[in-house]
Amino acid sequence: MRRQPLVGALSRATGRERYSARETATAAAFMAPSLLLFTVWIFYPLGRSVYLSLHGNDLFGRPARFVGGAQFQELFASPSLREAIVRTAAFTVLTVVPGLVLGTLIALALQAPIRGIGVFRTLLATPFAFSVATASVIFQIFFNPGVGVFNAILGLIHLHPVGWLTNPATALPSVALASVWLQLGYNVLVLSAGLQGIPAEIYEAARLDGARGLTMARRITLPMLTPTLFFLLVVSTVVAIQSFGQIHILTRGGPAGATTTLVYSLYLNAFAFGSTNYGLASAQALVLFAIVVVVTALQFGFLERRVFYR
């Protein structure tokens, strides 16, 4: 089985073909439900976002007057956009990388040839049962600087308490910590599945060639796991960039803006504290869209070539 690389699928020339009108009509009919839904809920709103971003708002957030590129000017002029992008990037790295690395290590540990490993595999998938909301409220209790569990554990080993969410320096990593834990359940499941999908014959052949331990991991396991890792990379990057719930529950973008990512900043402008600056928020939304397109394109363009497809 071979997966079509995304870019390849697009660029693959189909040549001059004769199309049957009947087949074309059938194909159009099959695509119609999706296309209709996309038009109403994705393409039309994208257009409306552009419209909103070019207008100022009245008291209730209705577009009131044409302002041209003023919203974009305001956005690009203030340092807060750049800061929000940097924070979003940092948060993405802080969640995606540990999520993949720890996920791979745990999945490898779960390959141990011992009895009852299935029980461990089930238990270690536990975070998968948590939603963003349930995980966040529990971590909020852990992070409480006064009576929280984390500082109590630090106290037991005679370390000084940490501000976790109250210190601007540690807030973003702390939110990332909760997110990594949450993401690990899914990652472990997917990576375990990927490892189990590697045929035993390949290991056997490598063993006959004298490969052992780390060599085996580096030469066989990891390359064979790259499609899985790539899949997780793309998915968890998009998830990280669009993270909202954990920031909303844990920090509301604070302290002092330390966890105000692009998505959260958009939320603050459009909906929070009685704000209805839909114009500015829409301008931010378009910037966010551009970023996701570029990041995804880069991932496919640079990384997918390194992915080993069978």
Partner 1 sequence: MTAVGLRATAAYAGLAALAFVMLFPLLYAVSGSLMTTQEISTYPPAFLPLHPRLDNFRDVLHALPLPRQFLNSLIVAACVTAGQLVTSVLSAYAFAFLRMPFRNFVFGVFLATMMVPWEAILIPNYLTIADNHLINTYPALILPFLAAGFGTFLLRQFFLTFPRDLYEAAQVDGLGHLRFLWLILVPLSRPALAALAIWSFLSAWNQFLWPLLVVSQDQMDTLQIGISRLQDVEAATAPNFILAGTVLALIPTLLLIYFGQRHIVRGLTAGALKG
Partner 2 sequence: MKRIAVLIASLVMVSACGGGSPSSSGPAADETAPAGKVVEVSFWHSFAAGANQDATNVLVQRFNDAHTGKIHVTPAFAGDYDTTFSKIKAAVQANQTPSIVQIYDVGTRFMIDSKQITPMQKFIDEDKYTTDLEPVIANYFSINGKLDSMPWNNSLPLLYINRDAFTAAGLDPNKPPATLDEIRADAQKLTKKDASGQTVQYGFGAAIYGWFLEQFAARADVLMCNNGNGRDKDATKILSDSPQLVKVMDWWKQMLADGLALNTGRPTGNMQTAFKAGRVAMTLESTGVLGGFISGSKFQVGAGPYPRSEASTAGGPIVGGAALWIMNNGHPAYEQRAAWEFVKFLEQPDSMAYWHIKTGYFPDTKKSQEDPTDVAFRQTRPQFDVALQQLHAETTDKATQGCVLGVMPQARQANEVAMEQILASGASSKTALSGAVTSIQPAIDQYNQAVGAT
Examine residue 296 and tell whether it contacts partner 2 (CB under 8 A).
Answer: no
How many angstroms separate the CA atoms of 181 and 106, rounded? 12
Number of shown-chain residues binding partner 2 (CB under 8 A): 36
Binders of partner 2 among 6-35, rule CB under 8 A? 33
Q: Output the smallest distance, CB 147 to partner 2, in A.
A: 5
Please say which residue, 171 or 265, places its beta carbon nearer to partner 1: 265
Joined tokens for residue 147: 């009576």
Joined tokens for residue 44: 């039309």
How many angstroms separate the CA atoms of 82 and 210, rounded? 52
Examine residue 140 and tell whether it contacts partner 2 (CB under 8 A).
Answer: yes
Binders of partner 1 among 142-171, rule CB under 8 A? 142, 146-149, 152, 155-156
Is residue 210 within 8 Å of 297, Cβ to Cβ? no
Binders of partner 1 among 248-287, rule CB under 8 A? 248-249, 263, 266-267, 270-271, 278, 281-282, 285-286
How many angstroms separate the CA atoms of 227 and 308, rounded? 6
Please say which residue, 143 or 181, places its beta carbon nearer to partner 2: 143
Is residue 241 within 8 Å of 264, Cβ to Cβ? no
The 10 Å Cβ neighbour count of residue 193 is 11
Convert residues 44-63 into a mask of x (bound to partner 2 by CB under 8 A) and - (unbound).
------------xxxxxxx-
Examine residue 236 and tell whether it contacts partner 1 (CB under 8 A).
Answer: no
Could you give the residue ranges of the DSSP H alpha helices within the chain? 6-11, 21-38, 44-53, 70-77, 79-109, 117-124, 132-143, 149-156, 168-196, 200-208, 213-216, 222-241, 245-250, 262-270, 278-298
Which stretch in 75-83, 138-146, 163-171, 206-214 sits in contact with partner 1 by CB under 8 A?
138-146
**Of these partners, partner 2, partner 1, none, which one is at the site of residue 7 (CB under 5 to 8 Å by kind)?**
none
CA distances from 152 to 3, 148, 155, 249 (A): 49, 6, 5, 22
Q: Output the smallest distance, CB 22 to partner 2, in A.
A: 17
Q: Output the smallest distance, CB 222 to partner 2, in A.
A: 41
How many angstroms separate the CA atoms of 227 and 225, rounded? 6
Convert residues 167-206 into a mask of x (bound to partner 2 by CB under 8 A) and - (unbound).
xx--------------------------------------
Q: Output the smallest distance, CB 252 to partner 1, in A.
A: 11
**Of these partners, partner 2, partner 1, none, which one is at the site of residue 227 (CB under 5 to 8 Å by kind)?**
partner 1
* DSSP assigned state of 129: G
Cross-strand partners of 55: 66
Query: Binding residues for partner 2, per CB under 8 A?
Result: 33, 56-62, 64, 140, 144-147, 155, 158, 160-161, 163, 165-168, 251-252, 254-257, 271-277
